[in-house]
Amino acid sequence: MIPAGVNSPVRAWRAVGGDPRFLVRGRGAFVWDADGNELIDLVCAWGPLIAGHAHPDVVQAVTNAAKRGTGFGAPTPVEIELAEAIVGAFPSIEKVRLVTSGTEATMTAMRIARGATGRSRVIKFNGCYHGHNDSLLVKAGSGAATFGVPDSAGVPGSISELTSVVEYNDLDSLRASLAIDPPPAAVIVEPIAANMGVVLPAPGFLETVLELAHDAGALVIFDEVISGFRVARGGAQELYGVKADLTCLGKIVGGGLPVAAVGGRADLLDLLAPMGPVYQAGTLSGNPIACTAGRETIRLLDATAYQLLERRGAALQEGLEDAIRNAGVDASVQRVGSLLTLFFGVEAVHDFTDAARTDTDAFASFFRAMIERGVNLPPSQYEAWFVSLAHGDAEIERIVAAARSALGA
């Protein structure tokens, strides 16, 4: 009844083999599948559950909100409270429009950029995923400034031709693309790439992206759907001391329920209807239950929380690297805070070309071995692992012990 039995492709385990576990319950750092197996979870709903599964404060607030009504199709106070939390965390965000998914956020950000500049072309970086909207489902061609070709059936070439693809951490390829006609409306980038595995920006990369784009009259969109509220309260922009023109948020801002956001300078957000000519709307945008989950999750993220996430993330990285050395396996770990990836077959990954050289067969074997040892990992070499506040020292030690056994085998 459901294509491939899943409602999002990576859940089908095609990259690792076998049949996916159907999960029925979560609590803290653990999930249980329909057969009763307990697993330490490093997926955390692909990032939103930074406080862990079913945090009692979040559950209680959501329960109370549901008793008042599941939705109204009208403004509610909790929308303002969530917006205030977002604006307070990101100095680059003066106003915010709440939407339902990260895909909708990036689509809206591009529409704002095109409306503000009167231009149509957008530049993205190879290996960065910005949702499944037509304009951004493209892959790189053979040259530094190659126009994109569709990466999905059903995407018209006339749409994908409006997107140019350049290499992440490669400023020369960006310069080349900015120099060609037609001039771009925007450059969109994951400031910390997390959809080819976790790949950090090179020193000065983000600052120069902003400088080059602005010199060309283009806006810069940071896709912080994953990094926002994850690597710091103010996301990658706080971590690296930079400010984007427009920022896309998701995952944690919904606390596990479907909320996302696009924010930025007031003059840009005021282009949105009904104030301006850029149209965007959504029946479920700002749903009170979802906004409540996001608000309560963000309330848990104080300075102490981020110190704890850094300590636990570092402990997991150190344990994995020690296990890799002891097993004599060709692998490496890349991490920012509570976000990390174990790559097989490479010493380091700086861009999608490096990521494409990883040993996906080795990862698939490792994934299956970890599941057998009670650890739930994202079922793809190219995804990030997520540590939550619920992952205590004991859970980190169990994960590392499982990895030692799996790598040794």
Nearest to 218 by CA among 114, 374, 87: 114
Q: Are 168 and 183 in contact (CB under 8 A)?
A: no
**pLDDT > 70? residue 273:** yes
Nearest to 137 by CA among 117, 111, 113, 157: 157
Query: Do both 242 and 307 map to the same domain?
Result: no
Q: What is the pLDDT of residues 223-269, one digit of tens each?
A: 999 999 999 999 999 999 999 999 999 999 999 999 999 999 999 99
Please indicate, yes or no, if residue 37 is contained in any of the structural domains: no
**pLDDT > 90? residue 318:** yes
Query: Do both 312 and 240 map to the same domain?
Result: no
Query: Do both 228 and 278 map to the same domain?
Result: yes
Q: What is the pLDDT of residues 150-162, one digit of tens each?
A: 567 888 888 888 9
Model confidence, pTM: 0.96
Please indicate, yes or no, if residue 31 is contained in any of the structural domains: no
Query: Do both 207 and 225 map to the same domain?
Result: yes
Q: What is the Cα–Cα distance from 299 to 294, expressed in whole angstroms?
A: 9
Q: What is the pLDDT of residues 95-153, one digit of tens each?
A: 999 999 999 999 999 999 999 999 999 999 999 999 988 888 875 322 333 344 456 78
Which of the following is catalytic: 95, 124, 243, 251? 251
Please indicate, yes or no, if residue 185 is contained in any of the structural domains: yes
- Residue 322 burial (CB count, 10 A): 13
Query: Do both 220 and 321 map to the same domain?
Result: no
Query: Do both 190 and 219 map to the same domain?
Result: yes
Concerning whether 245 is annotated as a catalytic residue, the answer is no
Q: What is the Cα–Cα distance from 240 to 345, expressed in whole angstroms?
A: 29
Please indicate, yes or no, if residue 44 is contained in any of the structural domains: no
Please indicate, yes or no, if residue 141 is contained in any of the structural domains: yes
**pLDDT > 90? residue 292:** yes
Amino acid letter, residue 3? P
pLDDT of residue 136: 86
Stretch 30-41: mean pLDDT: 98
Concerning whether 129 is annotated as a catalytic residue, the answer is yes
Question: Which residues constitute the domain of residue 408?
Answer: 302-335+345-378+392-409
Please indicate, yes or no, if residue 35 is contained in any of the structural domains: no
Instruction: Please report which helix (H) or strand (E) contains residue 262, including its range.
Output: strand 260-264
**pLDDT > 80? residue 219:** yes
Q: What is the Cα–Cα distance from 348 to 301, expressed in whole angstroms?
A: 30
Residue bearing tokens 């070439």: 157
Q: What is the Cα–Cα distance from 192 to 199, expressed in whole angstroms?
A: 6
Higher pLDDT, 157 or 360: 360
Instruction: State the CATH number of the domain containing residue 372.
Output: 3.90.1150.10
pLDDT of residue 140: 34
**pLDDT > 70? residue 396:** yes
Among 144-158, 294-308, 342-356, the minimum mean pLDDT is found in: 144-158
Query: Do both 270 and 283 map to the same domain?
Result: yes
Query: Do both 108 and 188 map to the same domain?
Result: yes
Which of the following is catalytic: 41, 170, 223, 351? 223
Query: Do both 310 and 179 map to the same domain?
Result: no
Which of the following is catalytic: 41, 124, 129, 240? 129
pLDDT of residue 139: 59
Instruction: Please report which helix (H) or strand (E) contains residue 165, including its range.
Output: strand 163-167
Query: Do both 89 and 151 map to the same domain?
Result: yes
Concerning whether 134 is annotated as a catalytic residue, the answer is no
Query: Do both 146 and 244 map to the same domain?
Result: yes
Please indicate, yes or no, if residue 39 is contained in any of the structural domains: no
pLDDT of residue 404: 98
Query: Do both 218 and 157 map to the same domain?
Result: yes
Query: What percentage of the chain has pLDDT greater than the value 90?
Result: 92
Q: Are 347 and 13 in contact (CB under 8 A)?
A: no
Instruction: State the CATH number of the domain containing residue 71.
Output: 3.40.640.10
DSSP 324-365: HHHHT--EEEEEETTEEEEEES-S---SHHHHHTS-HHHHHH
Number of domains in the chain: 2
pLDDT of residue 159: 84
Q: Is 85 exposed, middle or buried (0-12, 13-18, 19+ CB in 10 A)?
A: buried
Q: What is the pLDDT of residues 147-203, one digit of tens each?
A: 444 567 888 888 888 999 999 999 999 999 999 999 999 999 999 999 999 999 999
Please indicate, yes or no, if residue 99 is contained in any of the structural domains: yes
